[in-house]
Amino acid sequence: MPNSKQTSVSFTRIAIFILFPAACFLGAGDTVQDKLINARAVGRATGTGTTARAAAIENAHLEMVLQTIEATLGSRDLRGLQTILDHCRSYIHTSRVLRENRTKDGVQVEVEAMVYHAALRHDLAALVLPGLLDPPKVLIMIAEQMPGESAPSLATRSQAEETLFEGFKKRKVSVAASGELRGTHSDEDLLNCIQREPTQAGKLALETRADVALVGVALATSEPEAAASNLQNNRAKVTINAVRADDEHLLDTLAAEAVVHSVDAEEGAKQAIQDATAKLLDELIATTVLAVAGREHSPDIFITIENSETSVSVQEVVRRTHECAGVRSVDELLSSPSQVRLRVKYSGGISPLVRWIVDYSYENFTLDEERVVGREITLRVIPK
């Protein structure tokens, strides 16, 4: 972090997020299909000149990383995470200074940045996994529809399941497969859960003593490359829902596609499914590990309200949130003309909290649920 004899550095920990191999440092999207999120933070540094300004900007970048850690794990316990803090600038894709002010003893800047969210989550998962009290366990249940088949089935372990099974085993995460549920549940019931009621997979995960359920569908099609060609154009799309077992909360929904050209349609379709699933593997592992790690820390929820043009609308949402069963406190971390960020101390399931806030009939506006990932809830105010 920039510093000198003339510049002592301090910072204010305030931020807004718009949703938005062991200890392997990925940094700026090296090997992951990364997600960029927009973030804002305020940083301060004492002193004057370009050195103080650079230090303030660096502190704002650090705060963005710290806020992500806190929102993900429910804690600012940074033991074992020094690698991430030392390289926090590597998680910033682009940034710009929105405002710059002189303070009594230095400079304050408000910075907006695009953050490599997936890379940060993956590195965080790799660092916290060895320290978990109990290794995570995941239930994997993926229905598969091959070319020529009329509907997805669970007749045998699918190619997607096999790919995930091997990937999780390599990362030392225990796996339960759909076959473990066949004795107590019919294929029809399991398929209904996968295709229509994915959050119910949380109950199934508990039956196998898993922490997270990964349920979804792999669809593959094949068609000739050209009229006179013997090559097949094989396409696959894999969609997977990650559901936490404890409260049946939908952690994330991920999808990927792949295309494989082959002579043999069946082999090409299997390869396409494998390739599409492999694109999701790192994110699914990170989601599983961080869901377990977050459960071991405080139950804070972070809510970002966008388009919050009036204090009245914000206060209505805060009051409604306070009234939800399980909510102990609601603290306003940051307020601006367009966005507000809240920290909610809450002991219940996230889905009931979201429904409680969003489905309420407010006087002059409605709320749109933009994104719910882990402990991060992003809502948008829609004027009536």
pLDDT along the chain (384 residues), means of 10: 36 32 36 68 91 94 87 75 89 92 91 89 90 86 92 84 93 86 86 89 87 94 81 93 85 92 91 95 92 69 78 83 91 74 83 91 88 80 86
| Structural class in CATH, domain 300-383 | alpha beta
Contact 357, 320 (CB under 8 A): yes
Domain ranges of the chain: 14-130, 134-295, 300-383
Check residue 308 and give its pLDDT.
67
Check residue 94 and give its pLDDT.
92
Check residue 297 and give its pLDDT.
54
Asked if the 134-295 domain carries CATH number 3.40.50.10610, the reply is yes
Global pTM reads 0.69
CATH of segment(s) 14-130: 3.10.129
Check residue 295 and give its pLDDT.
65
Check residue 357 and give its pLDDT.
94
Check residue 21 and give its pLDDT.
31
Q: Do 300-383 and 134-295 have the same topology in CATH?
A: no
